[in-house]
Amino acid sequence: MKKKSDWRTRFIRLCAVVLPLIVLCFTACKDEDKEENLPFDPTKPVVITDFSPKSGGIGNNVILYGENFGNDPKKLKVIVGGKEANIISVKNNILYCVVPRMATEGDVEISVYDDNGEEVAFAEAEEKFTYVKQWLVSTLAGQRFENEKDAFQGEGAFDACGCIKGATWFSFDPKSNFNHLYLTCYGAGAIRLIDLEEKTVTMVRHLGNAVDRPALINWTADENQDMIVSSDLSKDGNIHVLRTRVSEFQSEVKIGNKQRGVTGAFVHPNTGKLYYTVYPDDKIYEYNFEDKQTSVIAMHVREKETLRMVVHPTGKYAYLLRQYNAKGNGYIARMDYNSDTDQFTTPYIVAGSDNVSGYRDGVGSRVQMNGPTQGVFVKNPDYAGENEEYDFYFCDERNHCIRILTPTGRVVTFAGRGNDSKDPGFANGAVRSEARFAYPWAIAYDEKRKCFYVGERGMDREGGKQAVIRKIAMEE
């Protein structure tokens, strides 16, 4: 029979064997850590043995492996593709850095400097880095004022025109060859003309009070292509006003019934009829320019919803974007057009939900959004030859980002939310890793220059003193 004390004896013997191994392991790790953190040794060469990844774009991280880098990033310079890279951290045999903009030459180099700023060592990797161009966010027009007393709305060059308050809806003049972009500024009582050729911002003068709360701009489908301004009036009035091109958009012709609170409107590209919704009812209206009659053609999901409306370039369907309200839900619905009957179907939701808000990419009802506002159809060359050739880019206001709705109903994030935060921010750079937005409302696509423009309300959403127009473009 074994004694009860045998297990204690075995445990003590086991500890006598294992504990020295544990101590040795920790000692080895400690020595290895010391080895990694050694300072630069001028008697030894600097060597780059490898780097990863082998390709990437601005803002991506790159790891350099090698020997004798030292441990002081202030005494190092890393060149990636001919441009100096920002060093994040360094140990003696490993270095983390960020790919700089337009690092197209491919070389990967490291230089070590002494206390006097003289280069004392140099190394170059054998392989080349492949630079991949990326979409970048920049500031197109407007000024940001940290001090509210300095803020103003003005006219002039892009960098001297003041802040862009109340950005609501972009619309290109169809006869300007993508040089004249109009922006309604709801709440600021203004319409602004962004001249992309002259690089100026001007105020559009108006008559009367019909555009005190301008919400939307459309264009007639006839050869004149006159401007239609739709206003979110607080009391009954002419919510739609026609500005004639022959008068250089100065004279106004009132059209349609007297109503209030227009939130969404579009002109059908084939029939030329004007479709619109008003708050707070759930009706979709049609205005016929030929007989000047207004009629109700459909009902949307429910009452008291602010809906933006965007028609497909072919006219075969339209999207209705459910903007944010106190209930916090957000969705995109679709109504299809039947050319034989000249009628739209009842809208049905294709992405998001009428009772849930949030942030989640996905398909159909699994998608979560929080305030989709304006959107724009953009041709996708990958779809060439298919029935549907367009993706739909839209602003998700309360998620502070730009997202894409594909023809299959999938929603993915295109720009913004670089830190996966719902808080607003302002930062230019790579669309996903660096760029941040603050309440984006308006978006337009410039087919001539192959870029996007985004009008945002700014972090001080109501005051708008920090609001500017952003640009999203591929690196040149």
Q: Which pLDDT belongs to residue 7? A: 52
Cβ–Cβ under 8 Å, residues 307 and 321: yes
Asked if 60 and 88 count as a contact pair (C-beta separation under 8 A), the reply is: no
DSSP of 314-333: TSSEEEEEE---TT--EEEE
User: Residue 223 to residues 174, 175, 270, 320, 343: CA-CA distances in angstroms?
Assistant: 11, 10, 13, 27, 24
Using the predicted structure, report yes or no on whether residue 29 has a pLDDT greater than 70: no
The closest of 297, 309, 261 to 281, measured between CA atoms, is 261
**Predicted confidence band at 54 (pLDDT cuts at 50, 70, 90)?**
very high
The DSSP secondary structure of 91-158, one letter per residue, reads ETTEEEEEPPTT--S--EEEEEE-TTS-EEEEEE-SS-PEE---EEEEEEE----SSGGG--B--EET
| Average pLDDT of the chain, as a whole number | 89
Torsion of Cα atoms, 452 then 457 then 459 then 465, to 10°: 110
Each residue's pLDDT tens digit, 338-348: 999 999 999 99
Q: What is the pLDDT of residue 23?
A: 46
Q: Which residues contact 216 (CB under 8 A, 6 or more apart)?
A: 168, 169, 171, 184, 229, 230, 262, 264, 265
Task: Specify the pLDDT at position 319.
Answer: 97
Instruction: Render pLDDT for 182-198 as a digit per residue (tens, 0 to 9).
Output: 999 987 788 999 999 99
Query: For residue range 118-143, what is the model confidence (pLDDT) as tens digits?
Result: 999 999 999 999 999 999 999 999 99
Cross-sheet strand order for the sheet of 293-299: 262-267, 274-278, 283-288, 293-299
448: phi then psi, degrees, rounded to nearest 5: -70, -45
CA distances from 181 to 36, 213, 218, 221, 452 (A): 56, 19, 12, 18, 12
pLDDT above 70 (res 8): no
Any idea of the CA torsion for 284, 274, 352, 393, to the nearest 10 degrees?
Answer: -170
A 10 A CB-CB count for 239 gives 26
Cβ–Cβ under 8 Å, residues 314 and 327: no
The hierarchical CATH code for the domain 135-474 is: 2.120.10.30
Residue 14 pLDDT class (50, 70, 90 cuts): low
User: At 22, is the secondary structure helix, strand, or coil?
Assistant: helix
Confidence of residue 463 (pLDDT cuts 50, 70, 90): confident
CB 109 within 8 A of CB 51: no
Confidence of residue 115 (pLDDT cuts 50, 70, 90): very high
Phi-psi sector, 48: left (phi>0), alpha (psi -120 to 50), beta: beta
Angle 396-397-403 from CA coordinates, rounded to 5°: 20
State CA 421 to chain mean position distance.
14
Mean pLDDT of 149-162: 94
User: Strand locations in 312-439, DSSP E?
Assistant: 317-322, 330-338, 343-344, 348-353, 362-363, 372-379, 390-396, 401-405, 410-416, 429-430
DSSP class of 197: T
- Cα 43 to its chain centre, rounded Å, is 50
Q: Which of 138, 116, 31, 129 is nearest to 82 (CA)?
A: 129
d(CA 419, CA 218): 36
- Give residue for tokens 């301004």: 229
Q: What is the pLDDT of residue 224?
A: 94
Q: Please, which residues have CB within 8 angstroms of residue 326's CB and are 6 or more apart in sequence? A: none
Residues of the chain with CATH 2.60.40.10: 47-131
The per-residue b/e assignment along 454-467, b for 16 or more CB within 10 angstroms, e otherwise, is bbbbbbbbeebbbb
Q: What are phi and psi of 310, to 5 degrees?
A: -135, 125
Name the residue among 323, 340, 341, 342 with its Cα closest to residue 331. 323
Classified by CATH at the fold level, domain 47-131 comes out as Immunoglobulin-like (2.60.40)
pLDDT recorded at residue 146: 82
For the chain, where do the domains classified as CATH 2.120.10.30 start and end? 135-474
Neighbours of 291 (CB within 10 A): 7
